[in-house]
Amino acid sequence: MPLNRREFLSGTAGLLASAPSVVSSRTRPAALPDFATIRSDFPWIENQTYINNAGVHPLSAPAARVVEKHLTYKVHGPGPDRLFIGEPEIEELKELYGRLINAKATEVALVQSTLAGENVVAAGLGLHRGGGNIVTDEFHYHGGAYIYRELEAAGLEVRIVKQRDWRTHMRDFEEMVDKNTRLIAITLVSNINGFVADSKALSELAHANGAYVYADVIQAAGCIPVDVRALGIDFCCAGGYKWLMGLEGLGFLYVKEELQDEVLRPTQYGDRQYDNIQYHNFPGSPAGDADVTWEPKPGAARYEIGTVPHVVVASQLQSLQYILDIGVDRIQAHATPMVERLLREMPRLGYPTITPAGTGSPLAAFQASDPDALLSKLKRANVDVKVKWYQTRVSPGAYNNDDDIDALLNALS
């Protein structure tokens, strides 16, 4: 028989083997996690000094084993130590992600990516019909900004708050938001420099003016604590392949429960939105007033369309379990000293910082006047960080340590 989700999620990793599963318990291990053991769960680090988790996070060995169990099922069918992915596993995935951001499972929809989720929000709010304005800022992810720029042709006014000193300021938002504002769209943790937006204050500003807040949380969920209720966020989305330690092809859209009926309307339709389908026009089928009937699924499932990638679900189930067992606050605490060290030492090597101090995110970014020379140094040292736009960004994760930071700094010395 194939493994069920509770069986395979119980074996997260060596450091967590005795910890209660979050599937059945909200408690975490009492002891601090062994980050040396966590490091051993990411074999990529044996081949390269990799500090680019804000780009793509390596897959852990425990998650890869779960993928293998699922692929064995897909190749050979049911049998020992094989994993079937069905609707119970998909619903469990929503529950796990909900625990990560303090949301109900019925407030989580599975989408293709972060931008797919932002498109659901833009369309569901009717922004394509024009009228009013949306307020965003220079740190909002460029793919998200593109959505609203394209909607200008329909008559939507786009107002962009400029950054000052590599951060945004509330008074600049306050000058742009008015009673005609329909949405404030932000990236909670900037992919440019790790700046963390004041989403609570922005939510209060939006709601006071009858508007809503969308947050791109792909650089936040899994690496800093995110509580959508405490922050007042109405909608947010994150893809799984960065700090959620999963694979490409799956994103998590949060839609506040109170906004699912009248505010955010579905604009695309598919078979993940209903259940209990009944045909009534075939021989032997039950009688009915229509040829076919179905029951709408409750909650955010109304924003889902079609098949989700089961192999990605398998990896993400294990990865979310892994993150929750460690504790996001502990992952953040582990990365913070490395970020602080980078902010001190990189400017001494000729790379001025563009990350404000004390952001709390695991992203540290710097100016790079000669990106080609920088890339050459990194290649010789076999170190991977992001280099783009005359900038470099370093993003240490749970498996990184000071040896990795030493390798980077030595490469640039």
Q: Quick one: pLDDT at residue 11?
A: 46
Q: Is there a single domain that holds both residue 304 and residue 359?
A: no
| Strands 251-255 and 108-111, sheet pairing | antiparallel
Q: Check pLDDT > 60 for residue 207.
A: yes
- The string of pLDDT tens digits covering residues 223-246 is 999 999 999 999 999 999 999 999
Mean pLDDT estimate for the chain: 92
What does the pLDDT look like over 74-114, one tens digit per residue? 999 999 999 999 999 999 999 999 999 999 999 999 999 99
Which CATH number goes with the domain that contains 138?
Answer: 3.40.640.10
Average pLDDT over residues 154-166: 97
pLDDT at 285: 87
pLDDT in tens, 180-193: 999 999 999 999 99
Residues 363 and 342 in one domain: yes
Higher pLDDT, 67 or 12: 67
Q: Is residue 44 part of a domain?
A: no
In a domain, 31, yes or no: no
What integer pLDDT is reported at residue 345 of this predicted model?
98
If asked whether residues 169 and 252 sit together in one domain, one would say: yes
Q: Taking residues 280-292, what's their average pLDDT?
A: 88
Domain hosting 360: range is 328-412
Residue 61 inside a domain? The answer is no
| pLDDT beyond 50 at 20 | no
Strand pairing category for 292-296 and 274-279: antiparallel
For residue 332, what is the domain's CATH number?
3.90.1150.10
Q: What is the pLDDT of residue 32?
A: 63
Half-sphere exposure of 62 toward its Cβ, with a 13 Å CA cutoff? Answer: 24
Q: How many residues does the chain have?
A: 413
* Residue 58 confidence (pLDDT): 98
Asked if 102 and 227 count as a contact pair (C-beta separation under 8 A), the reply is yes
